[in-house]
Amino acid sequence: MKAIYIEQHGGIEVLKYGDFAAPTAAPNQVLVKIAAAGVNFIDTYQRGGLYKIPLPAVLGMEGAGTVAALGDGVSGFKIGDRVAWAMARGSYSEYCAVPAHLLVHVPAGLDLKQAAAAMLQGMTAHYLTHSTFPIEPGHIALVHAAAGGTGRLISQMVKLRGGRVIGTAGSEEKAAVAKQAGADDVILYRTQDLVTEVKRLTDGKGVNVVYDGVGASMFAASLDCLRPRGMMVTFGNASGPVPPLDLLQLSAKGSLFVTRPTLANYTSPEEVKWRAGDVLGWIQNKKLSLMIEHEYDLKDAATAHSDLEGRKTMGKLVLNI
Protein backbone atom coordinates (compact mmCIF):
# COMPACT_ATOMS: atom_id res chain seq x y z
CA MET A 1 0.00 0.00 0.00
CA LYS A 2 1.02 3.65 -0.36
CA ALA A 3 1.81 5.43 2.89
CA ILE A 4 3.66 8.29 4.53
CA TYR A 5 6.17 6.81 6.97
CA ILE A 6 9.36 7.62 8.86
CA GLU A 7 12.46 5.56 9.53
CA GLN A 8 14.06 8.13 11.83
CA HIS A 9 12.93 11.18 13.79
CA GLY A 10 13.51 14.69 12.47
CA GLY A 11 12.07 17.49 10.38
CA ILE A 12 9.74 17.22 7.42
CA GLU A 13 12.63 15.84 5.37
CA VAL A 14 12.27 12.45 7.14
CA LEU A 15 8.75 11.94 5.78
CA LYS A 16 8.78 9.29 3.07
CA TYR A 17 6.04 8.52 0.56
CA GLY A 18 6.02 5.07 -0.96
CA ASP A 19 5.15 1.43 -0.52
CA PHE A 20 4.73 0.09 2.99
CA ALA A 21 3.55 -3.34 4.13
CA ALA A 22 -0.23 -3.33 4.49
CA PRO A 23 -1.57 -4.30 7.93
CA THR A 24 -3.99 -7.12 8.62
CA ALA A 25 -6.81 -7.22 11.14
CA ALA A 26 -5.57 -8.95 14.29
CA PRO A 27 -8.07 -10.17 16.91
CA ASN A 28 -10.30 -7.32 18.09
CA GLN A 29 -9.14 -5.11 15.24
CA VAL A 30 -10.88 -3.79 12.14
CA LEU A 31 -9.05 -3.21 8.85
CA VAL A 32 -10.19 0.11 7.38
CA LYS A 33 -9.75 1.25 3.78
CA ILE A 34 -8.99 4.90 4.41
CA ALA A 35 -10.68 7.76 2.55
CA ALA A 36 -9.23 10.70 4.49
CA ALA A 37 -6.86 11.36 7.39
CA GLY A 38 -6.68 14.31 9.74
CA VAL A 39 -3.40 16.16 10.32
CA ASN A 40 -2.61 17.05 13.93
CA PHE A 41 0.23 18.44 16.02
CA ILE A 42 0.68 15.04 17.63
CA ASP A 43 1.82 13.78 14.21
CA THR A 44 4.60 16.37 14.18
CA TYR A 45 5.60 15.48 17.75
CA GLN A 46 5.91 11.81 16.76
CA ARG A 47 7.81 12.69 13.60
CA GLY A 48 10.21 14.95 15.46
CA GLY A 49 10.79 12.58 18.39
CA LEU A 50 9.18 14.60 21.20
CA TYR A 51 6.80 11.65 21.49
CA LYS A 52 8.78 8.46 20.93
CA ILE A 53 7.26 5.74 18.73
CA PRO A 54 8.71 2.48 17.37
CA LEU A 55 10.31 2.87 13.94
CA PRO A 56 9.69 2.49 11.06
CA ALA A 57 6.22 3.92 11.52
CA VAL A 58 3.30 5.17 9.47
CA LEU A 59 2.07 8.48 10.90
CA GLY A 60 -1.46 9.76 11.40
CA MET A 61 -3.66 9.40 14.49
CA GLU A 62 -7.16 9.79 13.02
CA GLY A 63 -9.01 8.85 9.88
CA ALA A 64 -12.21 7.67 8.27
CA GLY A 65 -13.08 5.13 5.63
CA THR A 66 -14.88 1.83 5.07
CA VAL A 67 -14.49 -1.53 6.78
CA ALA A 68 -12.40 -3.89 4.64
CA ALA A 69 -11.94 -6.85 7.02
CA LEU A 70 -12.78 -7.93 10.57
CA GLY A 71 -10.45 -9.57 13.05
CA ASP A 72 -11.56 -12.38 15.33
CA GLY A 73 -13.77 -11.29 18.19
CA VAL A 74 -15.09 -8.12 16.52
CA SER A 75 -18.82 -7.44 16.68
CA GLY A 76 -20.94 -4.44 15.77
CA PHE A 77 -19.25 -3.81 12.41
CA LYS A 78 -19.56 -5.37 8.97
CA ILE A 79 -17.71 -5.11 5.66
CA GLY A 80 -18.51 -1.81 3.94
CA ASP A 81 -19.53 0.12 7.07
CA ARG A 82 -18.49 3.78 7.10
CA VAL A 83 -16.32 4.31 10.16
CA ALA A 84 -13.98 6.81 11.84
CA TRP A 85 -11.47 6.76 14.69
CA ALA A 86 -8.79 8.61 16.60
CA MET A 87 -5.82 7.57 18.74
CA ALA A 88 -4.74 4.61 16.61
CA ARG A 89 -1.65 5.43 14.55
CA GLY A 90 -1.37 4.69 10.83
CA SER A 91 -3.93 6.85 9.00
CA TYR A 92 -1.42 8.38 6.54
CA SER A 93 -1.91 5.32 4.34
CA GLU A 94 -4.38 3.37 2.27
CA TYR A 95 -5.22 0.91 5.06
CA CYS A 96 -5.09 0.89 8.86
CA ALA A 97 -5.82 -1.82 11.42
CA VAL A 98 -7.81 -0.09 14.17
CA PRO A 99 -8.73 -1.50 17.60
CA ALA A 100 -12.48 -2.03 17.45
CA HIS A 101 -13.13 -0.16 20.70
CA LEU A 102 -11.77 3.06 19.14
CA LEU A 103 -13.95 2.80 16.04
CA VAL A 104 -17.36 4.47 15.58
CA HIS A 105 -19.93 4.48 12.81
CA VAL A 106 -20.18 7.66 10.74
CA PRO A 107 -23.77 8.99 10.75
CA ALA A 108 -25.68 9.06 7.48
CA GLY A 109 -25.38 12.45 5.81
CA LEU A 110 -21.91 13.14 7.19
CA ASP A 111 -19.16 12.59 4.65
CA LEU A 112 -16.00 10.69 5.50
CA LYS A 113 -13.79 13.74 5.08
CA GLN A 114 -15.73 15.59 7.78
CA ALA A 115 -15.58 12.57 10.07
CA ALA A 116 -11.82 12.24 9.60
CA ALA A 117 -11.38 15.93 10.38
CA ALA A 118 -13.53 15.84 13.50
CA MET A 119 -12.42 12.86 15.54
CA LEU A 120 -9.17 13.77 17.30
CA GLN A 121 -9.67 17.49 17.75
CA GLY A 122 -13.39 17.06 18.40
CA MET A 123 -12.93 14.46 21.12
CA THR A 124 -10.08 16.52 22.55
CA ALA A 125 -12.33 19.57 22.81
CA HIS A 126 -15.03 17.35 24.32
CA TYR A 127 -12.92 15.84 27.09
CA LEU A 128 -11.37 19.21 27.95
CA THR A 129 -14.72 20.99 28.30
CA HIS A 130 -16.79 18.08 29.64
CA SER A 131 -14.34 16.13 31.83
CA THR A 132 -10.99 17.82 32.61
CA PHE A 133 -12.62 21.13 33.55
CA PRO A 134 -16.36 20.72 33.01
CA ILE A 135 -17.70 24.08 31.91
CA GLU A 136 -20.76 25.34 33.75
CA PRO A 137 -22.92 28.39 32.97
CA GLY A 138 -21.05 31.54 33.95
CA HIS A 139 -17.56 30.08 33.69
CA ILE A 140 -15.01 32.12 31.73
CA ALA A 141 -12.47 30.21 29.64
CA LEU A 142 -9.30 31.55 28.05
CA VAL A 143 -8.77 29.59 24.82
CA HIS A 144 -5.39 29.91 23.15
CA ALA A 145 -5.08 29.59 19.35
CA ALA A 146 -8.83 30.11 19.16
CA ALA A 147 -8.80 30.16 15.34
CA GLY A 148 -7.06 26.79 15.10
CA GLY A 149 -8.77 23.47 14.57
CA THR A 150 -8.97 22.51 18.24
CA GLY A 151 -9.42 26.06 19.51
CA ARG A 152 -12.49 26.63 17.35
CA LEU A 153 -14.10 23.46 18.64
CA ILE A 154 -13.24 24.20 22.28
CA SER A 155 -14.77 27.67 21.95
CA GLN A 156 -17.97 26.28 20.49
CA MET A 157 -18.30 23.66 23.20
CA VAL A 158 -17.71 26.22 25.95
CA LYS A 159 -20.56 28.24 24.47
CA LEU A 160 -22.79 25.15 24.16
CA ARG A 161 -22.31 24.60 27.90
CA GLY A 162 -23.15 28.20 28.80
CA GLY A 163 -19.64 29.59 29.31
CA ARG A 164 -17.89 32.71 28.08
CA VAL A 165 -14.84 32.56 25.80
CA ILE A 166 -11.86 34.87 25.70
CA GLY A 167 -9.73 33.71 22.77
CA THR A 168 -6.24 34.54 21.62
CA ALA A 169 -5.12 34.92 18.02
CA GLY A 170 -2.07 36.12 16.13
CA SER A 171 -3.77 38.34 13.55
CA GLU A 172 -6.96 40.25 12.82
CA GLU A 173 -7.88 37.59 10.26
CA LYS A 174 -7.55 34.83 12.83
CA ALA A 175 -9.42 36.93 15.39
CA ALA A 176 -12.38 37.13 13.00
CA VAL A 177 -12.37 33.35 12.63
CA ALA A 178 -12.28 32.94 16.40
CA LYS A 179 -15.25 35.26 16.84
CA GLN A 180 -17.21 33.36 14.19
CA ALA A 181 -16.62 30.24 16.28
CA GLY A 182 -18.13 31.89 19.34
CA ALA A 183 -15.33 33.77 21.10
CA ASP A 184 -16.87 36.67 23.01
CA ASP A 185 -13.58 38.56 23.02
CA VAL A 186 -10.27 38.01 21.23
CA ILE A 187 -6.84 39.16 22.38
CA LEU A 188 -4.19 39.75 19.70
CA TYR A 189 -1.29 38.29 21.65
CA ARG A 190 1.41 39.74 19.38
CA THR A 191 0.38 43.35 20.02
CA GLN A 192 -1.61 43.23 23.26
CA ASP A 193 -0.48 42.20 26.72
CA LEU A 194 -2.28 38.99 27.58
CA VAL A 195 -2.57 39.43 31.34
CA THR A 196 -3.58 43.08 31.15
CA GLU A 197 -6.33 42.35 28.64
CA VAL A 198 -7.68 39.35 30.54
CA LYS A 199 -7.85 41.33 33.75
CA ARG A 200 -9.61 44.16 31.92
CA LEU A 201 -12.15 41.84 30.34
CA THR A 202 -12.91 40.09 33.65
CA ASP A 203 -13.04 43.16 35.91
CA GLY A 204 -9.76 42.10 37.49
CA LYS A 205 -10.99 38.64 38.53
CA GLY A 206 -9.29 36.44 35.94
CA VAL A 207 -10.65 33.35 34.19
CA ASN A 208 -11.81 30.04 35.64
CA VAL A 209 -9.81 27.93 33.20
CA VAL A 210 -7.16 28.23 30.51
CA TYR A 211 -7.23 25.72 27.64
CA ASP A 212 -3.75 25.86 26.11
CA GLY A 213 -2.47 23.80 23.22
CA VAL A 214 0.41 26.18 22.52
CA GLY A 215 2.70 25.24 25.39
CA ALA A 216 5.92 26.99 26.38
CA SER A 217 5.30 30.48 25.01
CA MET A 218 1.91 30.94 26.71
CA PHE A 219 2.25 29.03 29.97
CA ALA A 220 3.76 31.58 32.38
CA ALA A 221 1.46 34.43 31.38
CA SER A 222 -1.55 32.11 31.42
CA LEU A 223 -1.02 31.32 35.11
CA ASP A 224 -1.37 35.04 35.82
CA CYS A 225 -4.70 35.09 33.96
CA LEU A 226 -6.36 32.64 36.37
CA ARG A 227 -8.52 33.58 39.28
CA PRO A 228 -7.88 31.88 42.66
CA ARG A 229 -8.41 28.10 42.42
CA GLY A 230 -8.53 28.32 38.64
CA MET A 231 -7.22 25.53 36.43
CA MET A 232 -4.44 25.66 33.86
CA VAL A 233 -5.06 22.93 31.26
CA THR A 234 -2.02 22.54 29.03
CA PHE A 235 -2.73 19.90 26.40
CA GLY A 236 -0.28 20.64 23.57
CA ASN A 237 3.22 21.78 22.67
CA ALA A 238 2.86 23.83 19.49
CA SER A 239 5.55 26.27 20.68
CA GLY A 240 7.52 23.63 22.57
CA PRO A 241 7.03 21.73 25.84
CA VAL A 242 6.42 23.64 29.06
CA PRO A 243 9.57 23.83 31.22
CA PRO A 244 9.67 22.45 34.79
CA LEU A 245 7.39 24.26 37.21
CA ASP A 246 8.06 25.40 40.78
CA LEU A 247 4.92 24.21 42.55
CA LEU A 248 5.14 27.03 45.09
CA GLN A 249 4.08 29.35 42.27
CA LEU A 250 0.67 27.73 42.35
CA SER A 251 0.03 28.65 45.96
CA ALA A 252 1.47 32.13 45.51
CA LYS A 253 -0.83 32.81 42.57
CA GLY A 254 -4.00 31.66 44.30
CA SER A 255 -4.00 27.90 44.97
CA LEU A 256 -4.08 27.12 41.26
CA PHE A 257 -4.50 23.75 39.60
CA VAL A 258 -2.36 22.60 36.67
CA THR A 259 -2.95 19.51 34.57
CA ARG A 260 -1.36 18.01 31.46
CA PRO A 261 -4.04 15.67 30.08
CA THR A 262 -4.04 13.57 26.94
CA LEU A 263 -6.90 12.14 24.92
CA ALA A 264 -5.58 8.61 25.39
CA ASN A 265 -6.63 8.72 29.06
CA TYR A 266 -10.14 9.89 28.20
CA THR A 267 -11.04 7.23 25.65
CA SER A 268 -12.43 4.20 27.42
CA PRO A 269 -14.86 2.31 25.15
CA GLU A 270 -17.79 4.07 26.81
CA GLU A 271 -16.14 7.48 26.51
CA VAL A 272 -15.34 6.98 22.82
CA LYS A 273 -19.01 6.35 22.08
CA TRP A 274 -20.05 9.34 24.19
CA ARG A 275 -17.51 11.82 22.87
CA ALA A 276 -17.54 10.79 19.21
CA GLY A 277 -21.31 10.44 19.28
CA ASP A 278 -21.70 13.99 20.56
CA VAL A 279 -19.14 15.47 18.17
CA LEU A 280 -20.36 13.78 14.99
CA GLY A 281 -23.98 14.31 15.97
CA TRP A 282 -23.47 18.02 16.63
CA ILE A 283 -21.75 18.46 13.26
CA GLN A 284 -24.56 16.58 11.54
CA ASN A 285 -27.18 18.73 13.32
CA LYS A 286 -25.29 21.99 12.64
CA LYS A 287 -24.71 22.65 16.34
CA LEU A 288 -20.97 22.44 15.78
CA SER A 289 -19.19 24.09 12.86
CA LEU A 290 -16.21 22.21 11.43
CA MET A 291 -13.79 24.26 9.34
CA ILE A 292 -11.64 22.27 6.91
CA GLU A 293 -9.20 24.87 5.67
CA HIS A 294 -6.80 22.87 3.52
CA GLU A 295 -6.85 19.51 1.76
CA TYR A 296 -3.69 17.78 0.55
CA ASP A 297 -2.92 14.67 -1.42
CA LEU A 298 -1.29 11.96 0.69
CA LYS A 299 2.06 12.47 -1.03
CA ASP A 300 2.03 16.12 0.09
CA ALA A 301 1.95 15.40 3.83
CA ALA A 302 5.26 17.24 4.29
CA THR A 303 3.63 20.44 3.04
CA ALA A 304 0.78 19.94 5.49
CA HIS A 305 3.25 19.52 8.37
CA SER A 306 5.16 22.62 7.30
CA ASP A 307 1.98 24.70 7.11
CA LEU A 308 0.79 23.45 10.52
CA GLU A 309 4.10 24.02 12.31
CA GLY A 310 4.51 27.43 10.64
CA ARG A 311 1.22 28.58 12.21
CA LYS A 312 -0.01 29.40 8.70
CA THR A 313 -3.36 27.70 9.10
CA MET A 314 -6.82 28.17 10.58
CA GLY A 315 -9.19 25.27 11.06
CA LYS A 316 -8.41 21.69 10.09
CA LEU A 317 -5.96 20.11 7.64
CA VAL A 318 -6.92 16.87 5.87
CA LEU A 319 -5.08 14.38 3.68
CA ASN A 320 -7.12 12.81 0.88
CA ILE A 321 -6.06 9.19 0.44
Task: Check residues 216 and 58 and name the one with the higher pLDDT.
Answer: 58
Q: In whole angstroms, what is the distance from residue 125 CA to residue 117 CA?
A: 13
Rounded Cα distance between 319 and 275, Å, is 23
Please state whether beta strands 62-70 and 29-39 pair in parallel, antiparallel, or not at all (unpaired): antiparallel
pLDDT value at residue 111: 94
CATH of domain 2-120+267-320: 3.90.180.10
Q: How far is CA 78 from CA 32, 99, 175, 280, in A?
A: 11, 14, 44, 20
pLDDT of residue 239: 86
Binned at pLDDT 50, 70 and 90, residue 238 comes out as: confident
The pTM of the whole model exceeds 0.85: yes
What's the mean pLDDT in 38-66?
96
Q: What is the mean pLDDT of the chain?
A: 96
CB environment 103-115: b (16+ within 10 A), e (fewer): bbbbbeebebbbb
What mean pLDDT is predicted for residues 173-188?
96
pLDDT score of 240 more than 90: no
314 falls in which pLDDT band (50, 70, 90)?
confident
- Length, in residues, of the chain: 321
What are the pLDDT digits (tens) for 66-99? 999 999 999 999 999 999 999 999 999 999 999 9
Give SS3 for 116: helix
- pLDDT one-digit tens code per residue, 279-307: 999 999 999 999 998 999 999 999 999 99
How confident is the model over 193-213, as a mean pLDDT?
A: 98
Pair 15, 69: CB distance under 8 Å: no
State the fold for domain 136-259. Answer: Rossmann fold (3.40.50)
For residue range 102-157, what is the model confidence (pLDDT) as tens digits? 999 999 989 999 999 999 999 999 999 999 999 999 999 999 999 999 999 999 99
What pLDDT is recorded for position 296?
Answer: 98
Domain ranges across the chain: 2-120+267-320, 136-259
Whether 2-120+267-320 shares its CATH topology with 136-259 is answered no
Q: How confident is the model at residue 241 (pLDDT cuts 50, 70, 90)?
A: confident
CB neighbours of residue 122 within 10 Å: 29
pLDDT on residue 311: 76
State the SS3 of 149-186: HHHHHHHHHHHHCCCEEEEEECCHHHHHHHHHCCCCEE
